[in-house]
Chain A
């Protein structure tokens, strides 16, 4: 595993990756081929139904590809890749019957790279009571707890699916600050969101996906220079209805 990791140039390698959910529907992902390097903050952008979440689920082993392959650090999704990925899904996956602190213990028990101190520090910063039961918290606060848990890991790849969609603008700033200040420079953050203007300044690169296919993979700087537009404006132009 370590040998593989050292050998591979890219952190994520997707090759002709396709996913079809059932025979009636078309491909959610269609021969997607892309590589994701280490040490970058990357925006995974595309309109609804473009295949972003399907791609994310495939990387996390939550779906199996219909054809093609995806490798994380040279490995197919499995126990080893799950140790490398810290994943924030678009929905609340916490067990509502547990307390915040019990979820901290849970993450500490299962992930060797989890920092309890970091988590407790962030909980205190956001004024979240660690003794509170998750079911007593608002949806936004639960999302914050989830993000704190995910960002308290020292992972190789952070995959954040809509991390700021459910929280208020004030908390958004803190969350974005948390994201950039809580990962090591060799790690990669893959951010999927529709709130492009909010994250634009964070991103190094972007990946545009449409109809399950790669439209563009480029650095944000290149887009700005080449098209003389902000990322948000360029996204609107590319995906105009």
Chain B
């Protein structure tokens, strides 16, 4: 579990983010990532899977947190909300996999790496889903994530308005969450 003081910071930042503070939003997403990662890795280890593969769960949880952030009741603690979403994505991911190989859990727990910096961790699932998305939506998500562009830069690159880029981004993220969910249904 996260420490109570951390959670209070996260809640403050998330409230600021909901009020439109982009910097606070980045701060809260980056701050909760190690917490989500710990939860996902413990879940994978318990299921006899390699914790190193849990990053896809972290990313799917971040995507869900983003698209469903209006379901957090700002008067309530944020920890249970985050955990419930992450656990939900973990269960989906475990259900998608064929029966786990039987690796002794103790071995895996010993190899559990210390929560590394977010910048080092890489997932594969979203790249695969992006391929399914195709077209302009895929290009825009790529430009804003992999290529690290801002919405304004992407707007110039694709000769679109900045607003249109953001609309396309929002639709693309929703579509990604939808196809990801459909795989489990």
Asked if A and B bind, the verdict is: no
